[in-house]
Chains A and B, each alone.
Chain A
């Protein structure tokens, strides 16, 4: 079963396509199942609820919960797809908006705020928000713009049997990870003991963000949209990524989280940095060798360069309410979505492991310890800035030459800043 973390992107992935079919089948079954179940009383009299969001089990659970509110006078439908990001802005721009709510992450809410298609929820929270935890409310300035329901982060996944074999402790920094990788290679256990989502584009840029923040970098000059990645922290981050890539499969620039998972299950890898939501279900497939299954464990994200903040980012997934809909539909949407994130899903045996729920009564499962450690260690949340998306795209396109050894780190970072500046000028963030 797919457990895709919210922010990841892997367009045109065959595995995903297959899962898409499975998901479609599952959601069809879910609809049938709920059709026969007693309808929940969500306190909605009238209204239209239409959900757009990513497709992975946790979000399917939330959408199914919202659909319990459907009745003769309340329509609730959901469109869950990995391509949600290309649909949500367009689908919420019209008046009335096609989608009354979008399930988003801290990176993708920015596009909705930039385009002004979601409404502040202050009045709805006041009227119907009982039971929501204060830390679930995403405030931008004075406005509550979203209600978060789950957290996610990338952290370490390792093979305890292999680490024992070379007599190493669980690495807490990337420097230690490199030393252990060298030992594993030198002892001839594995040729390429490290893996990760280093695919050119979004994934590679995200690994840079992690490392850059771990070295204490700041993507932008304080209080402005001026880029600031061509710095000492940027160069160090790239050098560390290059050093790690020496211990990866030579095809690492084509590996996204799916392929990294495949390498892992094949027993080719001893350590990798992976999304919490994926690590939890890494070995939930047929044919995974016993030593991989029993040897897999997860741990806190690592630090780098002697820093204290881990080299990773924190993410939340949450829902919003569209601006261009009637107040009645907005209230219906709020109530239905609130029913979708009813705290019972955080305690239900089947759904509690699907995510690190930010809901009342949630007890972390063993699979959640990596994400929890990330929160405890004060990890930096992924920057929620209007122009961060442009920086991420520029990083994804311009860092490959460095990783392939075709240019210096300084040149790659100069290119990133130039590409970002051109895009930011076009979008009016820079003059």
Chain B
């Protein structure tokens, strides 16, 4: 393709990417290094239906002048990145020097909102992603062996978890794991403990969230792998069969290598998706047990006084986190690409 042709071909996409991806990121970046002006506070008397109270308000005239002088707010550099709500450098340093053992250090770390969220986010990402890939692959293999007449219906039902809106899906599961719900009662019966409550125990809540994550995303892996299975080289498979390969050996040495690029693709998308886990935490009312980076952003924006700079900072940290997570996969893709073209 000529360079000029490529340029005109790419221009609309490039513009859209600039407008909808690059600019918002730049805006978030700027917002994360600026904070609202220092409030000029004055004491006043408030009077209302319940009597008079002494109170403090923001002196609007004085604040107005500050705002007019610096409309972006006050420049704080990386202060918010390093404060307790985010990377908490001072607190981490203190925990390091005052902790006698690694266990103590990690429990101090778990007390800081960012690291607590990171702990769940990473656990979720690194358990849900491989398991949903395996589950998706198994479903794809199973569906592929079904007689033609049954395939359509089975595929439709296997896709349902992905079609259901995440919030609704997690709410349904939330009701089912209730101590009076179907799954909750069943587990109580199996364990033999009628007082067991999934919602009251942190490990159980984590497991529920991870199970939800696998349930809702496995169909995506399934669809991709199922499509890949349709292009399986039949002659390679037949020669393997003639050589006496068992079904397991056929899968191990023919099927898996064939769909490996798809596994990389699914892993890439799902790592990114799972790192931004949010809906199940809201749907499961799980914030007492598990928080994620996205949930912190939601919480910062949901209060009566919104913390825009703090939310922006967490957003930037999330983007950095996604980039770090994806780097091995991206490096690998780049190597493969180079190996093929050179």
A residues contacting B by CB (< 8 A) are 9, 11-12, 14, 85-86, 89, 106-108, 110-111, 113-114, 116, 135-141, 148, 151, 199-201, 223, 225, 249-251, 253-254, 256, 314, 316, 358, 375, 379, 381, 383-390, 392-393, 397, 400-401, 403-404, 407, 411, 415, 418-419, 421-423, 425-429, 431
Could you tell me if B287 and A400 are in contact, using CB atoms closer than 8 angstroms?
Answer: yes
Query: With A138-B48, A427-B36, A428-B37 in contact, do A110 and B305 touch (Cβ < 8 Å)?
Result: yes
Residue in contact with B301 in the complex, picked from A86, A137, A199, A200, CB distance below 8 Å:
A86
Question: Does B309 sit at the interface, judged by CB under 8 A?
Answer: yes
Q: List 9 A-B contacts (CB under 8 A).
A: A135-B49, A137-B48, A139-B48, A140-B55, A223-B43, A389-B303, A415-B111, A421-B84, A426-B83
Q: Is B304 touching A389 in the complex (CB atoms < 8 A)?
A: yes
Check if A419 sits within 8 Å of B113, measured CB to CB.
yes
Cβ of A287 to closest chain B Cβ, rounded Å: 16
Residues of B within 8 A of A (CB): 35-39, 41-51, 53, 55-58, 60, 63-64, 74, 76, 80, 83-85, 91, 111, 113, 167, 171, 178-179, 195, 197, 199-200, 202, 282-289, 299-307, 309-310
CA distance A390 to B85 in the complex (A): 13
Closest Cβ of chain B: how far from A396's Cβ, in Å? 8
By Cβ-Cβ distance, the 6 closest A-B pairs, closest first, are: A389-B304, A141-B44, A389-B305, A200-B288, A254-B285, A393-B303
- Extra inter-chain contacts (16) besides given A390-B305, A407-B111, CB under 8 Å: A107-B304, A116-B60, A116-B64, A137-B47, A139-B45, A249-B197, A251-B179, A375-B50, A379-B50, A384-B53, A393-B299, A401-B111, A418-B91, A422-B83, A423-B310, A426-B80
B84 touches A418 (CB 8 A): yes
Query: Are B47 and A423 within 8 A (Cβ)?
Result: no
Residues of chain A within 8 A (CB-CB) of B299 are 201, 393, 397
Give Cα distance in the complex from A141 to B43, angstroms.
8
Residue numbers in A under 8 Å from B43 (CB-CB): 223
Known: A251-B197, A427-B36. A139 touches B85 (CB 8 A): no
| Complex alpha-carbon distance, A249 and B200, angstroms | 9
* Chain B hits for A111, CB < 8 A: 304-306
Cα distance, A85 to B305, chains bound together (Å): 10
A428–B79 CA distance with the chains assembled, in angstroms: 13
Q: Is the CB of A141 within 8 A of B303?
A: no
Which residues of A have CB within 8 Å of B84? 418-419, 421-422
Nearest B residue to A407 by beta-carbon distance? Answer: B111
Q: Which residues of A contact B76 (CB under 8 A)?
A: 426
B168 (CB) vs chain A CBs: closest residue: A14
Measured in the bound complex, the distance between the Cα atoms of B79 and A422 in whole Å is 10
Report how far A277 CA is from B36 CA in the complex, Å.
Answer: 36
Minimum CB distance partner of B284 in chain A? A254
Which of A199, A384, A403, A428 has most chain B Cβ within 10 Å? A428
Closest Cβ–Cβ distance, residue A129 to chain B (whole Å):
15
Given the complex of chains A and B, what is the CA–CA distance between A407 and B287 in angstroms?
A: 17
A386 & B58 in contact (Cβ 8 Å cutoff): yes
The residue in A106, A111, A381 that gathers the most chain B C-beta atoms within 10 A of its C-beta is A381
Find A384's partner among B35, B49, B55, B306 (CB 8 Å cutoff).
Answer: B55
Contact of A404 with B38 in the complex, beta carbons under 8 Å = no
Complex-state Cα separation, A86 to B304, whole angstroms? 9
Residue numbers in A under 8 Å from B286 (CB-CB): 254
**Contact (Cβ within 8 A) B305 A381:** no
- A404 engages B202 (CB within 8 Å): yes
From residue A254, how far is it (CB to closest CB) to chain B in Å? 4
Q: How far is the CA of A162 from the CA of B47 in the complex (A)?
A: 42
Known contacts A389-B305, A423-B307; decide if A116 and B83 are in contact (CB<8 Å): no
* Min distance, Cβ B59 to any Cβ of chain A, angstroms: 10
The answer to whether B41 touches A386, judged by C-beta atoms less than 8 angstroms apart, is yes
B38–A428 contact, CB under 8 A? yes
B80 touches A254 (CB 8 A): no
- Which of B49, B85, B167 has most chain A Cβ within 10 Å? B49
Cross-interface CB contact of B56 among A85, A223, A415, cutoff 8 Å: A223
- Closest residue of B by beta carbon distance from A256: B285
Contact B113 A431 (CB under 8 A): no
A106 near B74: Cβ-Cβ < 8 Å: no
Cα A411 to Cα B337 in complex, Å, equals 53
In the complex, what residues of A have CB within 8 A of residue B35's CB? 426-428
The 8 Å CB contact of A139, one of B36, B41, B46, B56, is: B46
Q: Which residues of A contact B49 (CB under 8 A)?
A: 135-136, 138, 148, 151, 316, 358
B178 nearest CB across to chain A (Å): 7
**A385, B55: Cβ atoms under 8 Å?**
yes
Complex interface: chain B residues within 8 A of A397 (CB): 113, 287, 299
CB-nearest residue of chain A relative to B178? A251
> Which partner residue on chain B sits nearest A10 by CB separation?
B285
8 Å CB contact of B46 from A140, A249, A253: A140
* B181 CB → nearest A CB, Å: 11
Q: Are A423 and B50 in contact (CB under 8 A)?
A: no
B83 touches A386 (CB 8 A): no
| Contact of B310 (CB < 8 Å), options: A136, A151, A199, A426 | A426
Residues of B within 8 A of A358 (CB): 49
Cα A116 to Cα B51 with chains together (Å):
24
Q: Which residues of A contact B195 (CB under 8 A)?
A: 250
Evaluate whether A140 and B287 lie within 8 angstroms (CB atoms) in the complex, with A250-B199, A251-B178 already known.
no
Contacts of B287 in A (CB 8 A): 200-201, 397, 400
Chain A residue nearest to B64 in the complex (CB)? A116
Given contacts A116-B63, A148-B48, A425-B83, contact A381 B288 (CB under 8 A): no
Residues of A within 8 A of B74 (CB): 428
CB distance from A75 to the nearest CB of B (A): 29
Are the CB atoms of A141 and B45 closer together than 8 Å?
A: yes
* B41 pairs with A381, CB closer than 8 A: no
Residues in B whose Cβ lies below 8 Å from that of A385? 55-56
Q: In the complex, what residues of B have CB within 8 A of residue A249's CB?
A: 179, 197
Q: How far is the CA of A251 from the CA of B55 in the complex (A)?
A: 37
Known: A151-B49, A253-B200, A419-B84. A403 touches B288 (CB 8 A): yes
Find out whether the CB atom of B57 lies under 8 angstroms from the CB atom of A426.
no
Min distance, Cβ A87 to any Cβ of chain B, angstroms = 12
Residues in A neighbouring B50, C-beta threshold 8 A: 151, 314, 316, 375, 379, 381
In whole angstroms, how far apart are the Cα atoms of A392 and B310 in the complex? 16
